[in-house]
């Protein structure tokens, strides 16, 4: 399999999603309901489907039929017969859950433990749906609001004390002593009779302060949720378009509002601590949570041979951005997903060994197997490792996802 293949990608309709953002990117009318995430990859929960000469084929089936040709020998040796990354367009109109992701070791152990316990993979109270880690990077397409990592404990204590809410005094004392983990644990385990008036009082105090009105907004979405207080102990960041944020294992985070391109390890392992109606497992969350202060890991791209690369320590993925005005060669780097977000970018296989010109041009969405695809905004293509080097031409912006 050497062709570059058009992708048809599923959209996940989570309640916090936007009706307009993904539709506008793809040139459609607003959707009837929320569209939260456009998934591009081989995750078994929602795999992409590729257009081939023989008809549509799910990406996992393509990999299973020719693992080395699809992934390349290096990726196959490192990760096995699976695409180790998942690319998304994420469109948040409302805050996502306060959450953490496990390390590779924690994911493998948790997956085995829940298998032994007989918890079905699709059960709502399942924490570990696969044995893989989920490092992630989100690149903003527009100003994007997020929370990531804990502030210094003394800073959090001072902020909470400044709210003048007497019920926060035990939390302030714990934070003043540096006991972040204990403070979070006690907030999460407060009985409803204490938690709901506490959060209500905190929300009222935040609403009166211009610098904290965002926290009052969280309480509006999730009244009585301890995650509102925990969020005040975290770093708030607003990413400018083109800036990205990396989230390692154990680091608490929440995406609050905006549209971005997200790449992650291909995993669905999430431990939630609040700001959600989904399953919360407090003991497991606390076992995974890193209480150490951590500034948001804001990543700005490094220019390299006409490509802007977002450097991270993740082995599972590497994300690059190409702002194209003419032509550019992309080297062969294993399996690649190319996503257009502006303009029109044509993707071609580069002729090798003097083998003539590229084959017939085919617009995205036309059935067939080909050497060239024109990608409009919101469209994507999959290039297997065997496709080799690629040529990009046109005027627009395309993100390129591959292994790290």
Q: What is the pLDDT of residue 366?
A: 37
Check whether residue 271 and residue 390 sit in a common domain.
no
d(CA 335, CA 353) in angstroms, rounded, equals 21
Tokens of 172: 């302030």
| pLDDT < 50 stretches in the chain | 354-369
Check whether residue 112 and residue 126 sit in a common domain.
yes
Last residue of a domain, one of 202, 232, 262: 232
Query: What pTM was estimated for this model as a whole?
Result: 0.93
Q: What is the pLDDT of residue 304?
A: 86
Residues designated as active site: 272
Check whether residue 118 and residue 207 sit in a common domain.
no
Tokens of 14: 């989570």
What pLDDT, in 10s, does the model give residues 10-53? Answer: 999 999 999 999 999 999 999 999 999 999 999 999 999 999 98
Q: What is the pLDDT of residue 351?
A: 67
CA distances in angstroms from 149 to 218, 223, 362, listed in the order given = 17, 22, 46
Check whether residue 123 and residue 33 sit in a common domain.
yes
What are residue 238's DSSP bridge partners? Answer: 145
Residue 51 structural domain? 5-147+238-299
- Has 253 been labeled as part of a binding site? yes
Last residue of a domain, one of 232, 265, 280: 232
Q: What is the pLDDT of residue 350?
A: 78
Q: What is the pLDDT of residue 160?
A: 98
Last residue of a domain, one of 201, 232, 263: 232
Check whether residue 213 and residue 266 sit in a common domain.
no
Check whether residue 97 and residue 11 sit in a common domain.
yes
Tokens of 162: 């400044």
Q: SS3 for 375?
A: strand
Check whether residue 258 and residue 347 sit in a common domain.
no
- Has 26 been labeled as part of a binding site? no
For the chain, give the secondary structure using H, E and C. Answer: CCCEEEEECCEECCCCEECCHHHHHCCCCCCCCCECEEEECCCCCCCCEEEECCEEEEHHHHHHHCHHHHHCHHHHHHHCCCCCEEEEEEEECCCCCEEECCCHHHHHHHHHHHHHCCCCCCCCCCCCCCCCCCCEEEEECCCEEEEEEECCHHHHHHHHHHCCCHHHHHHHHHHHCCCHHHHHHHHHCCCHHHHHHHHHHHHHHHHCCHHHHHHHHHHHHCCCCCHHHHHHCEEEEEECCCCEEEECCCCCEEEEEEEEEEEEECCCCCEEEECCCCCCCHHHHHHHCCCCECCCEEECCEEECCEEEECCCCCCCEEEEEEEEEEEEECCCCCEEEEEEEEEEEEEECCCCCCCCCCCEEECCCCCCECEEEECCCCEEEECHHHCCEEEEEEEEEEEEECC
Q: SS3 for 179?
A: coil
Phi–psi pair at 125, nearest 5 degrees: -95, 15
Check whether residue 126 and residue 157 sit in a common domain.
no
Check whether residue 123 and residue 242 sit in a common domain.
yes
Number of structural domains (the chain) is: 3
Q: What's the CATH number where 20 sits?
A: 2.60.120.10
Check whether residue 143 and residue 271 sit in a common domain.
yes
Q: What is the pLDDT of residue 3?
A: 83
* Positive or negative torsion for Cα 100, 128, 132, 241: negative
Check whether residue 336 and residue 393 sit in a common domain.
yes
What are residue 150's DSSP bridge partners? Answer: 234, 293
The single residue listed with the structure tokens 């007497």 is: 166
Phi–psi pair at 358, nearest 5 degrees: -60, 160
CB 401 within 8 A of CB 263: yes
Check whether residue 131 and residue 263 sit in a common domain.
yes
- Has 106 been labeled as part of a binding site? no
């Amino acid at each position: 399999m050497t062709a570059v293949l058009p992708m048809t990608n599923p959209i996940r309709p989570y309640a916090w999603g936007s009706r307009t953002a993904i539709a506008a990117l793809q040139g459609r009318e607003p959707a009837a309901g929320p569209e939260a995430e456009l998934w591009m990859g081989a995750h078994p929960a929602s795999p992409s489907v590729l257009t081939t000469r023989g008809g549509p084929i799910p990406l996992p089936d393509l990999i299973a039929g020719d693992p080395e040709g699809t992934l390349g020998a290096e990726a196959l040796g490192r990760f096995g017969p699976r695409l180790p990354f998942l690319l998304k367009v994420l469109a948040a109109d409302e805050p996502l859950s306060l959450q953490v992701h496990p390390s590779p070791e924690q994911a493998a152990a948790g997956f085995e433990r829940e298998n032994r316990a007989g918890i079905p993979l699709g059960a709502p109270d399942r924490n570990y749906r696969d044995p893989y880690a989920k490092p992630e990077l989100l690149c903003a397409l527009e100003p994007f609001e997020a929370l990531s990592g804990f502030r210094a404990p003394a800073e959090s204590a001072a902020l909470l004390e400044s709210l003048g809410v007497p019920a926060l005094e035990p939390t302030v004392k714990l934070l003043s002593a540096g006991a972040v983990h204990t403070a979070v644990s006690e907030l999460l385990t407060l009985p409803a009779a204490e938690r709901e008036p506490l959060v209500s009082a905190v929300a009222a105090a935040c609403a009166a302060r211009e610098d904290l009105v965002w926290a009052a907004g969280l309480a509006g979405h999730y009244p009585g949720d301890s995650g509102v207080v925990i969020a005040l102990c975290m770093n708030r960041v607003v990413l400018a378009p083109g800036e990205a944020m990396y989230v390692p294992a154990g680091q608490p985070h929440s995406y609050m509002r905006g549209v971005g391109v997200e790449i992650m390890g291909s995993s669905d392992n999430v431990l939630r601590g609040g700001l959600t109606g989904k399953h919360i497992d407090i003991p497991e969350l606390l076992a995974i949570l890193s209480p150490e202060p951590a500034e948001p890991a804001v990543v700005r791209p490094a220019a390299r041979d006409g490509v802007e690369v977002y450097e991270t320590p993740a082995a599972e993925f590497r994300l690059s951005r190409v702002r194209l005005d003419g032509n550019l060669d992309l080297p062969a780097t294993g399996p690649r997903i190319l996503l257009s977000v502006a303009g029109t970018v044509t993707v071609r296989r580069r002729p090798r060994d003097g083998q003539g010109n590229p084959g017939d041009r085919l617009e995205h969405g036309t059935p067939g197997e080909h050497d060239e695809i024109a990608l409009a905004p919101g469209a994507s293509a999959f290039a297997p490792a065997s496709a080799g080097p690629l040529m990009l031409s046109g005027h627009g912006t395309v993100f390129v996802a591959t292994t790290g």
